């Protein structure tokens, strides 16, 4: 039976992952069978079973399924365990091995492609769902300073802060606290607000420090509202999630095929069509 790969999400028709993995396959001369599978959260387990029955060997997982994927794995990498969310599944016999490549993808994009020094940056993370969980541990490992987390649902903020288990560096706060939190050197939007049709939380300009970098984990149209605010607020650097998407995909590809592809050419190809991009994985 041939080996199949896929990205699961809801919605997922927008996903660039099939294009990215096809490009990686051409680059490495590895035949790739990779497609997008739209599945609602309640049907995810059954969809994975059908995928395995048809020869599924590995998968990416995007919103809103990353935490559900975590619960379905019998074995997890340390970074997935810390995140409490999985974006990369590897079939291991009769079980799933779970990894999370989001964080390493983000850090690699910011430090290598955009030449940002993350060390000691006072950081604000907006959101506490699967995307935020995926990147928070890697940001801490990259040496950021204090990490403040805000989210519309305070309980999820507290849960993420507890999971990170670094009370001296990680501080859960409420959205209403933003005005009083002072300036930040790094602000990340890890919400799916623009994609869901809701609004990115209102943020005061007072939180923007002199060397502040603003990063949206979304790309394309879904990143426009936050990045527009960041430019208007005077952020020194403004970065969307396209590079992170390519880098996390390369890490997943390496897990499945044993070789890590080069990413710059693929990023350049996608970036040249930036206006046609829709949203984030």
What is the set of active-site residues? 66
Q: Count CB atoms within 10 A of the CB of residue 234.
A: 12
Could you give the CA distance from residue 226 to residue 230 in angstroms, rounded to a whole number? 6
Q: Is 155 annotated as a binding residue?
A: yes
Contacts 24+ apart (CB under 8 A), 19-22: 19/270, 20/245, 20/246, 20/249, 20/266, 20/270, 21/249, 21/253
For residue 116, with 0-12 CB atoms within 10 Å meaning exposed, 13-18 middle and 19 or more buried, which class applies? buried
Q: Is 211 annotated as a binding residue?
A: no
Q: Give the DSSP H/E element, type plus range, for residue 189.
A: strand 184-189
Q: Is 2 annotated as a binding residue?
A: no
Q: Is 152 annotated as a binding residue?
A: yes
Q: Is 102 annotated as a binding residue?
A: yes
Q: Is 29 annotated as a binding residue?
A: no
* C-alpha distances out from residue 38 to 14, 16, 83, 91, 218, Å: 10, 14, 24, 20, 19
17 in Cβ contact with 36 (< 8 Å): yes
Q: What is the CA radius of gyration of the chain?
A: 18
Q: Is 15 annotated as a binding residue?
A: yes
Q: Is 151 annotated as a binding residue?
A: yes
Backbone phi, psi, residue 108, to 5°:
-65, -40
Helices (H), 99-219: 102-108, 130-141, 154-164, 193-196
Q: Is 156 annotated as a binding residue?
A: yes
Q: Is 67 annotated as a binding residue?
A: no
Q: Is 11 annotated as a binding residue?
A: no
Q: Which residues pair with 5 in a beta bridge?
A: 34, 58
Q: Is 153 annotated as a binding residue?
A: yes
Q: Is 245 annotated as a binding residue?
A: no
Q: Is 206 annotated as a binding residue?
A: no
Binding residues for NADP(+): 78, 127-131, 151-156, 217, 241
Binding residues: 15-17, 62, 78, 87, 102, 127-131, 151-156, 217, 219, 241, 248
């Amino acid at each position: 039976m041939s080996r199949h790969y896929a990205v699961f999400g809801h919605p997922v028709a927008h996903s660039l992952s099939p294009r990215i993995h096809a490009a990686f396959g051409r680059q490495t001369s590895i035949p790739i069978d990779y497609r997008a599978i739209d599945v609602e959260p309640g049907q995810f387990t059954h969809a994975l079973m059908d995928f395995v029955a048809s020869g599924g060997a590995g998968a990416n997982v995007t919103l809103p399924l990353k935490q559900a994927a975590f619960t379905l794995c019998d074995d997890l990498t340390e970074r997935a365990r810390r995140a409490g969310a999985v974006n990369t599944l590897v079939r291991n016999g009769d079980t799933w091995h779970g990894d999370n490549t989001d964080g390493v993808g983000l850090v690699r994009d910011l430090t290598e492609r955009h030449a940002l020094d993350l060390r000691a940056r006072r950081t604000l993370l907006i959101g506490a769902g699967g995307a935020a969980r995926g990147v928070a541990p890697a940001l801490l490992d990259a040496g950021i300073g204090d990490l403040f987390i805000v989210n519309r649902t305070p309980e999820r903020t507290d849960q993420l802060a507890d999971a990170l288990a670094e009370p001296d560096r990680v501080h859960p706060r409420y959205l209403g606290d933003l005005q009083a939190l002072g300036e930040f050197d790094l602000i990340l939007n890890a919400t799916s607000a623009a994609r869901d049709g809701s609004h990115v939380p209102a943020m005061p300009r007072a939180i923007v420090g002199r060397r502040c970098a603003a990063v949206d984990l979304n790309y394309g149209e879904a990143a426009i509202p936050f990045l527009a605010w960041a430019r208007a607020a005077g952020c020194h650097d403004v970065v969307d999630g396209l590079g992170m998407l390519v880098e996390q995909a390369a890490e997943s590809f390496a897990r499945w095929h044993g070789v890590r592809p080069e990413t710059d050419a693929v990023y350049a190809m996608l970036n040249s069509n930036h206006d046609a991009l829709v949203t984030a994985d």
